[in-house]
Amino acid sequence: KTFALASFLGIAYAFSKNIGIICIIFYFFHYFFKIKFCYSRNKQENACLLGLLFSAAQKLIKPYVKPMLKIMIQKARDLSPGVVSSVLTALGELAVVAGEDMIPYLSDLMPLIIEILQDQSSTVKRDAALRALGRLAISSGYIIDPYIEYPSLLNILINILKTEQSAAVRRETVKVIGILGALDPYRYQMLEEASEDSTPEQKVVSSDVSLLIVGMSPSSEEYYPTVVINTLMNILKDSSLSTHHYSAIQAIMYIFKTLGLKCVPFLPQIIPGFLSVMQTCLSGLLEFYFQQLSILVSIVKQHIRNFLNDIFKLIYDYWNSNSTLQITILSLVESIVRALEGEFKTYLPTLLSLMLQVLETDTTPNRQSTQEILHAFVVFGSNIEEYIHLVLPVIVKMFERHDLSVSLRKIAIQTVAQLSRKVNFADHASRIIHPLARVLTTGTHELKMASMDTLCALVFQLGLDYTIFIPMINKCLINNHIQHQNYELLVSKLLKGESLPQDLNSDENDRRADDASSADITSKKLSVNQQHLKNAWETSQKSTKDDWQEWIRRLSVELLKESPSHALRACASLAGVYYPLARELFNAAFLSCWTELYEQYQDELVRSIEIALTSPNIPPEILQSLLNLAEFMEHDDKTLPIDIRT
């Protein structure tokens, strides 16, 4: 920081006398930006210092634009919002220095800036991206063209104006729109239409009739789930229906719990939609969505592998949001580890970096995040063996940290015991046992007993290699009047060359059992309360337009509530508050209930439909719905016995 302040006092002139100093500085920054496990705070300070140097020594910096750009563009994708905002601020300063020399790099910079502008997880990042875009446009003369080359940009900026809560960000957005200039509305419309044509969205087939035409019969197990999931996905894709996304996800999860592994074919539809909702939802809903995603992973197990890149991108985006969400995210990560085991290793380096950072900086009450991370290490098991030289020192350090609670220090000690059953500690025994010996001397009784249990676990792993530590530990036990029956038994057998009793090596301290593979929900048909349905289809005293609208609404919702299909019944709650869903599923729900009705009830239902069809006051849209129903039933060879004179 002192170095940066000095640059403002005219010392840039002195630097020009010794270009070697600048080269050393840039090498220093390059080293810190490149180091894999460098903490975010270091990266952020380095980026701030670069920005100050760019603004204070512009002529001196200009020859270094190209190498610095390469590093900074890379670091603008860092997981820490603070680092990203600092790097973008420095990029803005660099744009002022480089001027038109930035033009060759616009193809790298603009997609990055647009991506950050759409990131709902950090206001700081969006603000920095807007400032960088403004400076880039002014300095390089890059105006109007951004709208032409990136047709989505204007909509993104307008959306920020509509939805952004920060007044400062909205002001910066107005500035950027002013800087970029005005585009001819007709030309913009043409560009937007061309963009839509070039990347059309895949349309989801939601028509129950269409499924019949392609040969999927309602007698098929997949029919009703397919109809329902297609319809629910249409809701998730509609941002104007965001108030119903929560209930739609609930319905989808109920279906997945019911189907178990039978839901795997729906994953290519569900996962992208699910993740898209999480990227745009209110922050208060993220914890629920991450919980549901964790449950989904535990259901489909290894079949989630094709979607891991997108899932981990979301994890990285929201990792630093808050400690409560961090705990939920760790639960999701554990579900992924259990599902994929060794295949998880690809994502471990980046994830470990984030987790170790939390262990160093966690100041939350009870340090709940730290506890969850320690448990996650145990779940990772042998996956972290090649990184144990990074993980173990941080855990062992917690043994003797008096600023931590006794319970957390105990968990850290127990974590080593649990890891010893999964990871080879042969090269790290001394690093673990000496701190444990100090705990035996200075710790509370609770910590001493936990340490003895961990030493027992190490005896099992190290075998004869443990004998070198026996005199030191025995001295601690005698001096501190500690007795531990299991430890004494194990050491005795070890010294006599006898086999160790394996019943003493059980993993009793594991705090959680593995998640169940699926919920305890049967996939058998549900029973239909036919009397409830009869009350809904009753047409007596129905005469006005409003009466018939209420009749079709109630019947549609009641058919879902009483449907024998788990998938259809899962939608009943949402359909009660969002009637278009009940209308969309009306045919499928009707058919599912029709096949379960006794003949007497079928006759009464047909008579009610005939009365509705012949009513002079029935609204045209209801008449059309009933005619569509008759056509649908006919397609499935279950023609409704409606009097032709009707």
Q: What is the CATH number of the domain that holds 478?
A: 1.25.10
For residue 209, being part of any structural domain is answered with: no
Residues 332, 431, single domain; the answer is no
pLDDT surpassing 90 at residue 229: yes
Query: Is the model more confident about 3 or about 470?
Result: 470
pLDDT surpassing 50 at residue 118: yes
For residue 646, being part of any structural domain is answered with: no
For residue 429, being part of any structural domain is answered with: yes
Residues 370, 346, single domain; the answer is no
Separation in Å, CA 54 to CA 16, 89, 127, 242, 428:
14, 11, 20, 44, 46
- Structurally, how many domains does the chain consist of? 4
For residue 621, being part of any structural domain is answered with: yes
**Proportion of the chain above pLDDT 70, given as a percent:** 83
Indicate the average pLDDT of the chain. 83
Residues 97, 172, single domain; the answer is yes
| 177 SS3 class | helix
For residue 371, being part of any structural domain is answered with: yes
Domain-ending residue, one of 145, 170, 198? 198
Residues 136, 248, single domain; the answer is no
Residues 633 and 590: their CA atoms lie apart, in Å, by: 9
**Proportion of the chain above pLDDT 90, given as a percent:** 47
Residues 44, 188, single domain; the answer is yes
Residues 133, 107, single domain; the answer is yes
Domain-ending residue, one of 351, 374, 406? 351
Residues 296 and 473: their CA atoms lie apart, in Å, by: 47
Residues 65, 188, single domain; the answer is yes
Residues 618, 496, single domain; the answer is no
Residues 255, 346, single domain; the answer is yes
DSSP string, 95-109: HHHHGGGGGGGHHHH
Candidate ranges 49-58, 117-126, 335-344, 450-459; pick with highest mean pLDDT: 450-459
Query: For the segment 358-382, what is each residue's pLDDT rounded down to a tens digit?
Result: 998 888 878 999 999 999 999 999 9
For residue 523, being part of any structural domain is answered with: no
pLDDT at res. 203: 39
Query: Can you give the CATH number for the domain in which 18 is found?
Result: 1.25.10.10
Residues 20, 149, single domain; the answer is yes
pLDDT surpassing 70 at residue 238: yes
pLDDT interval class at 36 (50, 70, 90): very low
Strand ranges inside 499-604, DSSP E: none
pLDDT surpassing 80 at residue 41: no
Q: Which region, left, alpha or beta, applies to residue 215 given φ > 0 means left and ψ of -120 to 50 means alpha? A: left
Domain-ending residue, one of 441, 475, 510? 510
pLDDT surpassing 90 at residue 338: yes
For residue 515, being part of any structural domain is answered with: no
pLDDT surpassing 80 at residue 291: yes
Please state the rounded mean pLDDT for residues 226-250. Answer: 91
Full residue range of the structural domain in which residue 314 is found: 238-351
Residues 455, 541, single domain; the answer is no
Q: What is the dihedral of CA 501, 503, 504, 510, to 10 degrees?
A: 150
For residue 261, being part of any structural domain is answered with: yes
What letters, b where the CB count within 10 A reaches 16 and e where it falls short, cover 235-255? bbeeeeeeebbbbbbbbbbbb
pLDDT at res. 551: 92
Residues 48 and 525: their CA atoms lie apart, in Å, by: 63
pLDDT surpassing 90 at residue 200: no
Residues 23, 156, single domain; the answer is yes
